[in-house]
Amino acid sequence: MKKQKIAILDASTLGADIDLSIFDELGDVSIYDTTSPSEVIEHISDASIIITNKVVIDASTMDKTNIKLICIAATGMNNIDLAYAKQKNIEVKNVVGYSTSSVAQLTFSIALQFISKISYYDQYSKSGEWSNSPIFTNVSKPFYELDGKKWGIIGLGNIGKRVANIASSFGCDISYHSTSGMNNNTDYKSVTLEELLKHSDIISIHCALNNDTLNLISKTNLSMLKDKAIILNLGRGAIVNEEDISNMLDNSNIFYGTDVVTKEPIIKESPLLKIVNKDHLIITPHIAWASIEARIRLVNSIKDNIKEFTL
């Protein structure tokens, strides 16, 4: 197997706990924690293979370098000019399926935080309030069971199906909306978006961002939600209009948990950071994909993609 020069452009997104030395047997590896737009050409000037998570590789970059293979450390490929890569005979490989369990797990972590009020009761116990209580328990903040709740899923792909399966185990009644209109899964009830929003207690979003899903959830339909409804966004930030959901959180009794925002990292001016009802909002910094097991699967799959290319 011919060794080639490999450049890893944003290694910090993979985590310091991931062993990147597994690529050493495949070529001469240069590792960069981050790569700014102005550094891209410099970092890949002598590489034939690059590994990128979110660093943009556009037509101009391809013209100025000799890259032959672009390995994306993710499933989404919107940071690569795919049409021009094909024209230049540059192969582009992504990785699919590595984070299904991780994303599904965070979906339920956020849902259960809203439902079971764990943070509130943890703080109550640690603060000393429980020690001063005249009774053995505290039910001052009501919590609920998932059993019997209606769980609506927007986007019933691999992740959506995993979430549906787990929610079913909790005793939830599952329905889904296909944003493409092409999913005809018969295991669960297919409904319109309007019906899903009106009747679901919990709504989780697992679809891709495209022209059809941009601002899919906005002021035009947020008013349809049930009282105490929970929306979980594990898709892309711009699927939910952040200005509209922020207004809704401060003016109604709904809850929003999101692992993604429109601009990442989140900007200081984001309306999500200005809401008053902060206990109605949970934000995590795009970590759903990133369990240690998922990241190990990811780098191993990238290694396999490089081996297939260089054989």
- Per-residue pLDDT averaged across 201-230, rounded? 97
Integer Cα distance of 20 and 23 in angstroms? 6
**Per-residue pLDDT tens for 123-137?**
999 999 999 999 999
* Residue 194 annotated among the catalytic residues of the structure: no
137 & 202 share domain: yes
**Per-residue pLDDT tens for 62-83?**
999 999 999 999 999 999 999 9
18 & 113 share domain: no
* Residue 206 annotated among the catalytic residues of the structure: no
Integer Cα distance of 104 and 108 in angstroms? 7
* Residue 297 annotated among the catalytic residues of the structure: no
Tokens of 97: 């399926």
Domains: count for the chain? 2
150 & 226 share domain: yes
110 & 88 share domain: no
Q: Of the listed 25, 145, 264, 308, which one is catalytic?
A: 264
129 & 278 share domain: yes
- We report the CATH number of the domain holding residue 73 as 3.40.50.720
- Domain span at residue 190 reads 100-283
51 & 127 share domain: no
106 & 90 share domain: no
Q: Of the listed 236, 280, 295, 297, which one is catalytic?
A: 236
**Per-residue pLDDT tens for 228-283?**
999 999 999 999 999 999 999 999 999 999 999 999 999 999 999 999 999 999 99
- Per-residue pLDDT averaged across 222-230, rounded? 98
